[in-house]
Amino acid sequence: MAITLSIFTLNCWGIPFLSKDVPTRMNAIGNFLAQSSFDIVCLQEVWSNTDFELLRTKVQQNLPYSHYFHSGVIGSGLCVFSRHPIQDSLFHQWAVNGYVHKIQHGDWFGGKGVGLCRILVNGEHYVNVYTAHLHAEYDRENDEYLAHRVVQAFDTAQFIKLSSSPQDISLVAGDLNTEPGDNAFHIIKHVPGLHDCQDYIKEELMTNEAVGNTYRLLTAPSADASGKRIDYLLFKPPYGVNVSVKEFGYALPNKVEGLEISYSDHEALYAILSVDRTTKADDKRNCERDAVRREALTTAISTCEEALHDLKVQQRRFIYGVVLSAMLLLVVHVLLPRVLPEGNGIAFGISGAVHLILLLAVVFCLFMATIWHRIELNGINAGKLGMQMSLGKQAAAEAPNHQI
């Protein structure tokens, strides 16, 4: 029996105090979804519980089932709304996700990861819905988070691969912060064997820094002429079952009705999929997909190895920072009392401030050279070993006379 599923995804750009027009836009998003006919809605960057409750209240009639993935300090920002009952949920937080001291970026504080909701459609069909928001790319020319994003991509791919059932359809939606030609996207797509809805239409849909978005010049003053595609709707068909993309495109108007603002700095996507269990899919080995998977994993392993080498360099720098800060602290402790006049309140305040700053520098550099170094080292190593295992398994499967 064939079933039809419609899915919607949007990065809502709901950063408290930083994103523009959040209350107005959240209201508009909620009003639109309340009048929609989507079966499943995946949202990212809903950072405020107040915004999530607002959306849940507005869509209660047509999307009565919902789940927010709590994680980290401020929450993952990920939530799912569904027309059909959500049977189970699970959140997998990534081992590496930016740096705690990079407050201006903030990814670490979100405790980012991939969320899974298992949804029962029409009382008999299980659908695994995955939603994720990978670490942002702040500087493409000098991307200090490349290894983190590659490990996140492989972690997500493995999570999808190992938690999805061959008998049920899996849907993946979210802001992956990686473009179609990037290695991280190839890993997410090809390791678990996903299909990209974009491949079923001719026009490429740009989802960030898009022409016509009112926030384009605000968030990306030097944006490319056509924007970029970093938001996706992917799916994994059940084994031996045909899944076709009936529709795929932008889900929202260019601007909120009656206002001169867009719904978000990202564009929303929607897809309508038909799952036909009466038609068998072509299950022949796709050599091209295997080649892309192998190349993606090989490149990712190299990225991890480069990151591990850089970690050693960074650790030495922080150790030098500990030694230098400690020496300066000792010098200041000895010399300042001799230079500054006694009994002077201002002089005492200056001395205390200098001592505090140098002490904090010692503690920070020591933390980064020891505890944080081990956390990042173990996270990247775990990803690298998993990639090597996956690559070795594929190589064994492709051997002419391999033995198990």
pTM (2 d.p.): 0.82
Q: What is residue 402's predicted lDDT score, i.e. its pLDDT?
A: 45
Tell me the C-alpha distance between 344 and 341, whole Å.
6
- Ordered by start, the domain boundaries in the chain are 3-283, 292-398
SS3 248: strand
Catalytic-role residue among 105, 190, 266, 333: 266
Which stretches of 242-344 are DSSP H helices?
A: 287-339
CB 13, CB 28: distance < 8 Å: no
Dihedral (Cα; 43, 48, 51, 56), 10-degree rounding: 60
CA distances from 102 to 98, 109, 264, 333, 362 (A): 8, 10, 24, 30, 18
Give the pLDDT confidence score for residue 403 in this predicted structure: 46
**Which superfamily does 3-283 belong to?**
Endonuclease/exonuclease/phosphatase (3.60.10.10)
Per-residue pLDDT of the chain (404 residues; tens, 9 = 90+): 678 999 999 999 999 888 999 999 999 999 999 999 999 999 999 999 999 999 999 999 999 999 999 888 878 899 999 999 999 999 999 888 888 887 777 787 878 999 999 999 988 889 999 999 998 888 777 888 888 899 999 999 999 999 988 878 999 999 999 999 999 999 999 999 999 999 999 899 999 999 889 998 776 666 566 789 999 999 999 888 889 999 999 999 999 999 999 999 999 999 999 988 766 655 454 566 778 888 888 888 988 898 899 889 989 999 999 999 998 888 877 776 666 666 556 666 777 788 888 899 999 999 988 988 888 888 888 788 888 878 776 666 666 554 43
Q: How far apart are CA 117 and CA 76, in angstroms?
A: 15
Three-state SS at 178: coil
Tokens found for residue 124 = 């008999």
Q: Return contacts of 14-20, CB within 8 angstroms, 24+ apart.
A: 14/45, 14/46, 14/47, 14/48, 14/51, 14/77, 15/45, 15/47, 15/106, 16/47, 16/48, 19/45, 19/265, 20/215, 20/218, 20/261
With beta carbons less than 8 A apart as the criterion, state whether 56 and 37 touch. Answer: no
Is 266 part of the annotated catalytic residue set?
A: yes
Query: Which pLDDT score is estimated for 383?
Result: 80
- Tell me if 87 sits within 8 A of 103, measured CB to CB: no
Q: Count Cα atoms within 13 angstroms, Cβ side, for 3.
A: 16
